[in-house]
Structure 1
Amino acid sequence: MEKAGLRENGLRLSLVPDAGSVGKSGMDDSASDNSVEGGQRSGEWSNSPASVVLSVPVALRLDEVNTSQNKERLVQAMRESMEGDISRNFIYGISVEDDRVSLWYSTRKTTVKATSFSYVNRPDLLIRAFVSLFSADREVLGYESHITRLTDGSYLYELDGIPPKGPILKSSHRLRSKSAQKQPQSFFFKTTHLISKGHTHIWNAVEVTSKSNMKPKHKGQEIVLKDTWVDADSATEFELQRSLFQDIDSLKQSDWESLPILMGIPSDREEFARLRSYLKDDSYKSLFLRYDERMCYTGRPGKSLPSELVWKPLSNHVEPDTLAEGVEHNEQSWRTSQRKPREGKPPRNPPTLSSKKRCFFVFPETCTRVSHLPTLGDAMEVLNQAYFALLIMFCAGWVHRDISDGNVLAIKVDGKWSVRLADLEFAKKCSPKLATSPDATIGTPYFIAYEIEASLLLWVRYEIDFKKVILPVWGGGKAIPPPSKAIVHTFFHDIESLWWLIVWLITSRIGCDASKIAAHALFQGHFADSERRGNVVIGGLSHDIVSSLHDDVKPIAAGLEPFRVQLYGDYLRNSPEMRLKYENYAPACATALIFFDDIRESCDVWASLPLQQSLAGMRAPQPRPQLGLNQPASEASTCSSGPTTSRPPTKRKLRGSERGSLVLSSVSSLSCDAGPAKRIKL
C-alpha cells in the first residue's frame, strides 16, 4: 500500500478463537489475551469475542458445512460492535466459508449481504476489499465524525450552531460584511447519564468548553440530548416543531374561536377561556418540550439499497425512548413503525434498506414522565394540560400520533407541575383529502388506538360483525370481508391514546396488585391481544377490572365510561369520508374536557394517592400467594387500603452461550473502552 501511494489507517488484523470450541463462556482469558494483537477490550477480564473493539469483524470457517451458523456469528458480532459504541453509524463485515466470500453492511436497523464470490476465481475482489478497508478513514468505516468516544466510557457530542437570521442588507453592505462573516460556533456536550437507548439514544449531558477543554459550562447544569435517526427524506423533529409553531401562529391570527372542531365547547366555559389564554400570545409554547434553537446537527444520509437479501435480525427488540428521567427498560415495550404482516403470508415486496440520517437535538429542560409524578392528582392535572396542547394541535390541523407515558412529561415551575408534551418525531399535519393512509403504523402498544393497532376501522368492523356486510363470492367459496387498509391517524386516535394512558395509571401505577393483575392482559407491550383491547373500546372495562380497582380511583373509572361511549359512538358514526370534515370531531374533543371537569368533584378522594415508582417497567407482576388468589373474587379483587409494593420482574439477560462469536477481526488500535450500549420498531 505504501509503494502504491495509499494511506494506511492503522487497523490491525487480530485472531480471536472460535467461541464454540471453548465452552459457554465464549473463550477463556488466556486464549483471548494471547491471540489479540493490538486490540483493546471494553472491560477487564471479558470473556466475549465482542469485548474486542471491532472496526470490521470477519467470520472465517474453512468449510461450507455450517454456513448459516458462520453468518449468524458475523451478524451477532456486528450487532454487538454497534451496540457497544454509540459513535458508529454503520459497520462493514466479511464472512468466509471455504473459498466463498460475502461482504456485509449493517446499520442499527437492517443488515444487507452482497452476492458472494470465490476468492480463488476472483482474488482481485478480496484484495480490493481489504485495501479499501485498510485505507479508509473513520467516517468511511462508519464512525460518526460529530461524536467522540472518551476514555471514561462517556461520549462527546458536537452540535453545529445555527446562524441567527440577520436583517436584509443592501448589496454594498453585503459585500463588505462577507469578509467579516464567521463560521457558526459549535457546541460540545459530554454525556453523564443514559436515560434511554435503542434506535434513539437520550442522554443527560453537560455543556463543556470545547473538544480539547472538558471544563463544564453553566455550573455543570444538565440538559437532555436526543440522538435519533429519521428517514433521509423526512423532516427532522427540529423542523417539525418549527412548522407546527408556524401553523399555530397563523391560527392565532385567524378567527379560530369559530372553528367547527370547537363547536362542542361553549365559549363561556372556563375551558374556552383557558384556550384563549394559551393562544393570546406565545403561551402555548410552554405546553411543549422545546429544543434549543441555537443548535442542532443533521448528518449525511446513509446508503439506500433495495435488496432481497436483507438479513433477518436475530432480535427485533429494543427499548422505548423517552425524554424523561428514570426510564423503565422493558424488552416487551416498543414502538412500531410498520404494519404487521398477516400470518402465513410473505411480504409482497422485497425489503429495502431505506436511507437514514442521524440528528442531534438539545432540550434545556430536564423533565419527569407523567407516571413518575408524586401523586395521581399531579398526574391528572398534567394530563389535563397535555390535552390543551393536543387541542391546539388539532385546531392547527396536526396530530401527535404517539401519546404515551414517555411523551407526556412534566417540569416543576413555581412549585407546580407543568406539562411538556414531547416527541414530535411522528407528528403530522392532517390532509383534508386523504381517506386512506400510505403511512406505516405508528404508536406505543400500551396506548395505541385500537383502529391503528388492528389496521381496521371500527366503522368497518361494525358493518361486518353486526350488519353482515361482506363481499359475495361465486362458486361456493367462503365470503371474505373487505381487506383492511392502513388507517389514517386522526384526532380520535390521539384522544383514545390519552384514554388508555389514564386507564393504565389507575390500574397499574397506584400500588394495587389486584387491578394490575386484572389489567395485565391489556398492557403486555405487544400486539397479541389487540382483539381484547378492541372489546374494551366497544364494551368498556370488564367487571373483573372494575371490581379490582382501588376504591379511591373508582370515580375516575366511572368518568372514563361516558368518555369511552362517546368516542366509540364517534368511531361508528364517521365513515372514512366523514372523518375528513373537522366538525365531526367536535363531540369527542369536548368529551375529554368534560371528563376532566367531572372528576374534579371527587379529586379529594384520589388526588393524594401516591404513584408507584416501580423499576419493573410497563409490565404487571406475577400473582403473589399473599394476595389470596384462591379465595373468592370478592375477597381478593379489591384494594381499599393504601398502596402495596410488588416484586418487579427480573429483566432477561443474554447468556454467554447465546452470544455470537467470530474468528477473525479487524481491530482499531486507537479505540477506547466501550461505553454503555433503545423504542422497539417492529
Structure 2
Amino acid sequence: MADIYRPDTPRICIQSLTDLIPGFRERNSQNLAPSIPEISFDCFKKLVLPDVSDDKLKNAVQTLHEKRHLNDNGWVRLLEESDAQAQEGREVKEAEYFAPLFEALNSILGEDSTVFFSNNPAKSLWSEGDNSSYIADVNVLLRKSTSVSPRKQGEEFECDVVATGDLEMDSTPDKVNDNNVKVVSNATHIMGADPIRRFMFGLTIDSTNVRLWFFSRSHVFVAKIFDLHLNVRHLIYVALSIGYASKDELGFDPSVERILAPDKRPVYIFKVGDKEYMTKEAIAVRKAKSLLGRAPRIFKVLEVINREPLQLGPITQFLKDYWIPEDSPTELETRNSIRDNVNKVNRLEWLDVNKFDDYFVKIDACVKILVKSLTDPDAEAEDSSSNFLRNGSLPSKCDRYRLVTSMTTYLCPPTVSIDGSLMTGSETEAERRISLAQYESVAAQLANLDWATYGSKVHCRVISEDAGEPFDQKLSDWPTILNGLQLLLTGLAFMHSAGFVHRDISNGNVLCRDSMVKLNDLEYSKRIQPEPLHSSESSDAKTGTPYFMPIEVKAARYMFMSRSRIFAPANHYAVPFTFHYNYVHDLESLLWIFVFALTSKLPETVAWQNPSAQDELFAMLFLDAVQRQGFFIGFDQSSVLAQISNVPQQLYPIWSYAEEFAEQIRQYHSKLQAQANPPIIMAETAFFPELYADLNKLLEKIKADAYEGKVIEPRFAKKRAQEEHRKEPCFG
C-alpha cells in the first residue's frame, strides 16, 4: 500500500484549447511560458525513444545515399531547392519544400512499418466525431488506423497521430514562435481529445534547425536543436525508432479500446482489473485538455458482460481515468484509511462510525494501469512516468527553452475531436465559457513552479457508484440546499476526525441523490494528523477549485494573524510562516458553496428578470479577489453590502446568515492563528470540535427563516418564459 502521507503536487490547469476564444493558441503557450526543460539529443533518445541498432542506422543511411536522397552535404533535393531559390528568386510553400525530406524518410520505413510521415498542411484530419479542423504541416500517423468510423481511401484521422509537426523555411523569432505555438496547441488538442493517448511526440523545423518534443501528463520537454543537414543521422534515428515501435511505445493505451456502438457512435471500452466497462456519456473531460496535470476524465459506464454479441450490465457506474504522483495512495486507499481512523485522531462524540458509507461515494474498484515494461520486454509495469522514461529522469540541472518570444494570434480553434456525447456532454457554449473562468485563476506558468511539477505520475482508474448529480445541479429549493450543506458538514467531520483534509471541496465534488449527499474525489485529500515527518518545512501546494478555494489557500499565506505574531521576537531573525492547509479551510469551502448558491440561484418567481445585483455579486465574490477578501475578512464591505441590498427581498434573510457564516469561519481562523507557535501552525491545534456544532446550529437557523419556494438559475427561467410567450395564441 502506498504511503498515505500524500506528497504535494501542484494542480496545473492550463487553459483549454477547445474554447472559441481569440488567441487561444498563444495563451496556451504562455501558460507553459517562459520556458520548459531542454535536453541533449542523446538524453532525449535515451529517455523516450525505442532503441535502434548501429547496424540498422548504418544500413538506412547507406540506402538513402544509394537512392540519392542523401550526399555528404545533407538532404540532396532540399539543398538543390535552396540553391534554386537563391539563384532564381523562386518561392515555394513549406509543404513543397520539405516534401522530399519526408519522402526520403518514408522510403526507409517501408510498408511493414508501424507509422509513416504525411505532410499535407492543406488537409484537415478527420475526427471520430465532429470534424476538429486539426491541421499540422506534418503528421506521423499509424499505418494501421485505429479509427472505427467508415473510411474512404486516403482519409487520415486524428486518432492515428503519433507525432505532430510544424515547419518554417525561415528562422526568424516570429517563425520560431509560430512553430512552437502550433506544435504545443496541436499536441494539447490530441492529448485532450483522445482517451487512448498517454504521451506523444512533436517535431519542429525552422530553416535547418530541428527540434524534437515530448508531451505527457508529467513531463513536457524538448531536445536541443540539431542541424537538418549536418546531423542527418539524428532524424534518421528518430524515423527508425518510432517507425518500428509498438503502439505501447508510441503512447497508445493498451487498456482502452475505441469501438463502434450499436447506434454507430464511437465509444470506449476501458479495462479495470479483470473487468471491462463501456462508456455511455462523458461527465467531465475538460481538465484532460491541459498538457500537464492529473488529466481526469469521468464517464458514465456500463460493465461489459460479453463482447460477441455485445452484452452490457444493467447498472450505471462512474469511471474516472487520471494520473496521480507515483508515490501517492489511490483514492480507495485514502477512503479506507479515513474510514479506519474515524474518531481515532480527533474525537466527535456525535459521529456514528457505522454510517460512514452514507457520506462518501462507494468505490467498487481502483487500479493502477499495467502496460508492457519499456525496459524489460518480458515483464509488465505500472503505466507511469518511470516506465515511459525508461527508469530515467530529466537532468537535475538542464537548460530551459523559452517557448514564446513574441505574440502570434490564432482565431480559429479546433472543436472537440471525439463525439460530442462523449466529450462535451450537454454543455452549451455559454456554459463552457462560464466554466472556463474557473480555470483562469489557477492557470500557472511552468517557470514559476517547483521541479516537483515534473515528478513522476502513475496512471489510475476508478470505478464508483452512481451517486447522483453535482450539488448545484440537483437542488431546487433552499431547505434542500441547506440540508445538503448539513450532510456535507457531517462528511467533513468524518474526514477531520480521522486526521484528513479534503482540499478540493466544490459543487462538482459533492454528489446528490434523493436525500443523500456524498463526498467524492479524494485524490487531493491528505492526512495532516499525526503530523507527517518534515511536513512543516515548506508550504503546501495550492489545490482546489478556484470558486470554492479558501482565500488563504488562494493567496498561499495566513491572513488572520496579528502583526506582532508574523515575525519572530526582535532578538531573532524574522522567519516567514510556512503555509499549511487545515480543517478550517475545508469548512470555509462550505461557506463558498453556500454563497455560490446565493449568487447563482434566484426565486423562480423573479428569476426571469435576471436582476443585475446577482450578477454583480457573483463577479465581486468569485472573480474579484480583493472584494472577496473584503467580504470575508471584514474590511471594505461597502460595495458588497450595497449590492446585497438590491437582491430580491426573499433572499435578504439568507444573505444576513451568509455574513454570520463568514464571521464564524473568520473567528476560528483568527483563534487558530492567535495560538500559533511561529513559524509553524501545527495541525492538532486546528481542530475545533465546537465549530461543527456551531455551523450545524447556524444551518438549522437558516432553514427556519429561508425562502421555501423553488429557486432556479435565471437563464433557465428566462428561457422558459420566452418559450411560454411564443406558445401564447395571437388575437387580432
Output the TM-score relative to the length of structure 1. Answer: 0.68
Q: Please state if 1:114 is matched with 2:191.
A: no
User: How far apart are residue 242 of structure 1 and its match?
Assistant: 2.0
The structure, 1 or 2, with the larger RCO (C-alpha pairs under 8 Å, 6+ apart) is 1
Question: Given that residues 336 and 444 in structure 1 are in contact (C-alpha distance below 8 angstroms), is that contact kept between their aligned partners in structure 2?
Answer: no
Query: What one-letter code is carried by the residue in structure 1 that aligns with 2:702?
Result: I
User: How far apart are residue 93 of structure 1 and its match?
Assistant: 1.5
What is the match of residue 383 of structure 2?
300
Gaps of 5+ in 2: 1-55, 61-107, 125-130, 288-294, 371-381, 417-423, 723-732
Question: Given that residues 156 and 190 in structure 1 are in contact (C-alpha distance below 8 angstroms), is that contact kept between their aligned partners in structure 2?
Answer: yes
How far does the alpha carbon of each residue in 1:202-227 deviate from its partner, in whole angstroms, 9 at most, with x for none?
Answer: 11122122455532122xx3221111
Q: Please state if 1:500 is matched with 2:592.
A: yes
Query: What one-letter code is carried by the residue in structure 2 that aligns with 1:514?
Result: S
| Partner of residue 629 from structure 2, selected from 523, 527, 534 | 534
Between the aligned partners of 1:52 and 1:394, the Cα distance in structure 2 is 44
What is the match of residue 14 of structure 1?
118
Question: Given that residues 337 and 443 in structure 1 are in contact (C-alpha distance below 8 angstroms), is that contact kept between their aligned partners in structure 2?
Answer: no
Query: What one-letter code is carried by the residue in structure 1 that aligns with 2:620?
Result: L
Question: Given that residues 164 and 187 in structure 2 are in contact (C-alpha distance below 8 angstroms), is that contact kept between their aligned partners in structure 1?
Answer: yes
Instruction: Report the 3-state secondary structure (helix = DSSP H, G, I; strand = E; otherwise coil) of the residue aligned with 2:546.
Output: coil
Q: Please state if 1:290 is matched with 2:397.
A: no
Instruction: Report the 3-state secondary structure (helix = DSSP H, G, I; strand = E; otherwise coil) of the residue aligned with 1:203.
Output: strand
How far does the alpha carbon of each residue in 1:591-622 deviate from its partner, in whole angstroms, 9 at most, with x for none?
Answer: 2112112123224xx2332232858xxxxxxx
Query: What one-letter code is carried by the residue in structure 2 that aligns with 1:534?
Result: Q
Question: Given that residues 280 and 299 in structure 2 are in contact (C-alpha distance below 8 angstroms), is that contact kept between their aligned partners in structure 1?
Answer: yes
**1:324-339 residue pairs with structure 2 within 5 A?**
329=432, 330-334=435-439
What is the match of residue 190 of structure 1?
278
Question: Given that residues 203 and 211 in structure 2 are in contact (C-alpha distance below 8 angstroms), is that contact kept between their aligned partners in structure 1?
Answer: yes
Question: Given that residues 188 and 211 in structure 1 are in contact (C-alpha distance below 8 angstroms), is that contact kept between their aligned partners in structure 2?
Answer: no
Between the aligned partners of 1:44 and 1:427, the Cα distance in structure 2 is 46
**1:389-400 residue pairs with structure 2 within 5 A?**
389-400=491-502
What is the match of residue 232 of structure 2?
123
Q: Please state if 1:377 is matched with 2:479.
A: yes
Between the aligned partners of 1:26 and 1:289, the Cα distance in structure 2 is 35
Between the aligned partners of 1:86 and 1:374, the Cα distance in structure 2 is 34
CA-based RMSD of the aligned residues comes to: 4.5
| Partner of residue 683 from structure 2, selected from 580, 602, 608 | 580
Between the aligned partners of 1:396 and 1:40, the Cα distance in structure 2 is 47
In structure 2, do the counterparts of structure 1 residues 52 and 240 end up closer, same or farther at CA, with 3 Å as the change threshold? closer
Between the aligned partners of 2:270 and 2:366, the Cα distance in structure 1 is 13
What is the match of residue 309 of structure 1?
400
In structure 2, do the counterparts of structure 1 residues 545 and 141 end up closer, same or farther at CA, with 3 Å as the change threshold? same
What is the match of residue 202 of structure 1?
298
User: How far apart are residue 149 of structure 1 and its match?
Assistant: 1.9
In structure 2, do the counterparts of structure 1 residues 143 and 51 end up closer, same or farther at CA, with 3 Å as the change threshold? closer
Question: Given that residues 224 and 365 in structure 1 are in contact (C-alpha distance below 8 angstroms), is that contact kept between their aligned partners in structure 2?
Answer: yes
In structure 2, do the counterparts of structure 1 residues 409 and 366 end up closer, same or farther at CA, with 3 Å as the change threshold? closer
In structure 2, do the counterparts of structure 1 residues 50 and 156 end up closer, same or farther at CA, with 3 Å as the change threshold? closer
| Partner of residue 269 from structure 2, selected from 157, 163, 172 | 157
User: How far apart are residue 388 of structure 1 and its match?
Assistant: 0.5
How far does the alpha carbon of each residue in 1:56-101 deviate from its partner, in whole angstroms, 9 at most, with x for none?
Answer: 2232333323223223222222222222322101101122223322
In structure 2, do the counterparts of structure 1 residues 90 and 469 end up closer, same or farther at CA, with 3 Å as the change threshold? closer
Question: Given that residues 368 and 410 in structure 1 are in contact (C-alpha distance below 8 angstroms), is that contact kept between their aligned partners in structure 2?
Answer: yes
What is the match of residue 231 of structure 1?
325
User: How far apart are residue 554 of structure 1 and its match?
Assistant: 2.4
What is the match of residue 463 of structure 1?
563
User: How far apart are residue 574 of structure 1 and its match?
Assistant: 2.2
Between the aligned partners of 1:588 and 1:18, the Cα distance in structure 2 is 63
In structure 2, do the counterparts of structure 1 residues 560 and 38 end up closer, same or farther at CA, with 3 Å as the change threshold? closer
Question: Given that residues 191 and 197 in structure 2 are in contact (C-alpha distance below 8 angstroms), is that contact kept between their aligned partners in structure 1?
Answer: yes
Query: What one-letter code is carried by the residue in structure 1 that aligns with 2:586?
Result: D
Which 10-residue stretch deviates more, 398-407 or 365-374? Answer: 365-374
Between the aligned partners of 1:211 and 1:247, the Cα distance in structure 2 is 42
Between the aligned partners of 1:153 and 1:614, the Cα distance in structure 2 is 31
| Partner of residue 169 from structure 2, selected from 59, 62, 67 | 62
Question: Given that residues 400 and 427 in structure 1 are in contact (C-alpha distance below 8 angstroms), is that contact kept between their aligned partners in structure 2?
Answer: yes
Question: Given that residues 218 and 457 in structure 2 are in contact (C-alpha distance below 8 angstroms), is that contact kept between their aligned partners in structure 1?
Answer: no
**1:355-504 residue pairs with structure 2 within 5 A?**
355-372=456-473, 373-412=475-514, 417-433=515-531, 434-435=535-536, 437-460=538-561, 462-463=562-563, 487-504=579-596
Question: Given that residues 286 and 420 in structure 1 are in contact (C-alpha distance below 8 angstroms), is that contact kept between their aligned partners in structure 2?
Answer: yes
Between the aligned partners of 2:440 and 2:583, the Cα distance in structure 1 is 19
In structure 2, do the counterparts of structure 1 residues 336 and 207 end up closer, same or farther at CA, with 3 Å as the change threshold? farther
What is the match of residue 21 of structure 2?
none
How far does the alpha carbon of each residue in 1:534-577 deviate from its partner, in whole angstroms, 9 at most, with x for none?
Answer: 11112286322321333223222222333322221222232244
Q: Please state if 1:564 is matched with 2:662.
A: yes
User: How far apart are residue 130 of structure 1 and its match?
Assistant: 0.6
Output the TM-score relative to the length of structure 2. Answer: 0.64
Between the aligned partners of 1:308 and 1:509, the Cα distance in structure 2 is 51
What is the match of residue 74 of structure 1?
183
Between the aligned partners of 2:703 and 2:133, the Cα distance in structure 1 is 62
What is the match of residue 695 of structure 2?
592
Aligned length, in residue pairs: 537
Between the aligned partners of 1:76 and 1:391, the Cα distance in structure 2 is 43
In structure 2, do the counterparts of structure 1 residues 513 and 223 end up closer, same or farther at CA, with 3 Å as the change threshold? farther
User: How far apart are residue 499 of structure 1 and its match?
Assistant: 0.6
User: How far apart are residue 500 of structure 1 and its match?
Assistant: 1.0
What is the match of residue 101 of structure 1?
210
* Higher fraction of helix: 2
Gaps of 5+ in 1: 162-185, 473-480, 616-642, 649-682
| Partner of residue 137 from structure 1, selected from 235, 246, 264 | 246
In structure 2, do the counterparts of structure 1 residues 194 and 311 end up closer, same or farther at CA, with 3 Å as the change threshold? farther
Between the aligned partners of 2:276 and 2:305, the Cα distance in structure 1 is 7
User: How far apart are residue 439 of structure 1 and its match?
Assistant: 2.7
Between the aligned partners of 2:592 and 2:633, the Cα distance in structure 1 is 13
Instruction: Report the 3-state secondary structure (helix = DSSP H, G, I; strand = E; otherwise coil) of the residue aligned with 1:63.
Output: coil
Instruction: Report the 3-state secondary structure (helix = DSSP H, G, I; strand = E; otherwise coil) of the residue aligned with 1:446.
Output: helix
How far does the alpha carbon of each residue in 1:286-315 deviate from its partner, in whole angstroms, 9 at most, with x for none?
Answer: 111121148674642124535543675999
Between the aligned partners of 1:296 and 1:469, the Cα distance in structure 2 is 45
User: How far apart are residue 427 of structure 1 and its match?
Assistant: 0.7
Q: Percent identity?
A: 21
In structure 2, do the counterparts of structure 1 residues 376 and 63 end up closer, same or farther at CA, with 3 Å as the change threshold? same
Instruction: Report the 3-state secondary structure (helix = DSSP H, G, I; strand = E; otherwise coil) of the residue aligned with 1:93.
Output: strand
Between the aligned partners of 1:64 and 1:563, the Cα distance in structure 2 is 59
Between the aligned partners of 1:509 and 1:611, the Cα distance in structure 2 is 5
User: How far apart are residue 141 of structure 1 and its match?
Assistant: 0.4
Question: Given that residues 399 and 429 in structure 1 are in contact (C-alpha distance below 8 angstroms), is that contact kept between their aligned partners in structure 2?
Answer: yes
Question: Given that residues 224 and 364 in structure 1 are in contact (C-alpha distance below 8 angstroms), is that contact kept between their aligned partners in structure 2?
Answer: yes
Instruction: Report the 3-state secondary structure (helix = DSSP H, G, I; strand = E; otherwise coil) of the residue aligned with 2:688.
Output: helix
Instruction: Report the 3-state secondary structure (helix = DSSP H, G, I; strand = E; otherwise coil) of the residue aligned with 1:309.
Output: strand
Question: Given that residues 317 and 466 in structure 2 are in contact (C-alpha distance below 8 angstroms), is that contact kept between their aligned partners in structure 1?
Answer: yes
Instruction: Report the 3-state secondary structure (helix = DSSP H, G, I; strand = E; otherwise coil) of the residue aligned with 1:106.
Output: strand
In structure 2, do the counterparts of structure 1 residues 192 and 545 end up closer, same or farther at CA, with 3 Å as the change threshold? same
Query: What one-letter code is carried by the residue in structure 1 that aligns with 2:280?
Result: T
| Partner of residue 244 from structure 1, selected from 332, 338, 342 | 338
Question: Given that residues 14 and 39 in structure 1 are in contact (C-alpha distance below 8 angstroms), is that contact kept between their aligned partners in structure 2?
Answer: no
In structure 2, do the counterparts of structure 1 residues 534 and 228 end up closer, same or farther at CA, with 3 Å as the change threshold? same
Q: Please state if 1:215 is matched with 2:311.
A: yes
In structure 2, do the counterparts of structure 1 residues 38 and 90 end up closer, same or farther at CA, with 3 Å as the change threshold? closer
Question: Given that residues 467 and 511 in structure 2 are in contact (C-alpha distance below 8 angstroms), is that contact kept between their aligned partners in structure 1?
Answer: no
In structure 2, do the counterparts of structure 1 residues 537 and 243 end up closer, same or farther at CA, with 3 Å as the change threshold? same
Instruction: Report the 3-state secondary structure (helix = DSSP H, G, I; strand = E; otherwise coil) of the residue aligned with 1:518.
Output: helix
Question: Given that residues 59 and 96 in structure 1 are in contact (C-alpha distance below 8 angstroms), is that contact kept between their aligned partners in structure 2?
Answer: yes
User: How far apart are residue 239 of structure 1 and its match?
Assistant: 1.9
Which 10-residue stretch deviates more, 579-588 or 98-107? Answer: 579-588
Query: What one-letter code is carried by the residue in structure 1 that aligns with 2:226?
Result: F
Between the aligned partners of 1:424 and 1:530, the Cα distance in structure 2 is 27
Query: What one-letter code is carried by the residue in structure 1 that aligns with 2:363?
Result: Y
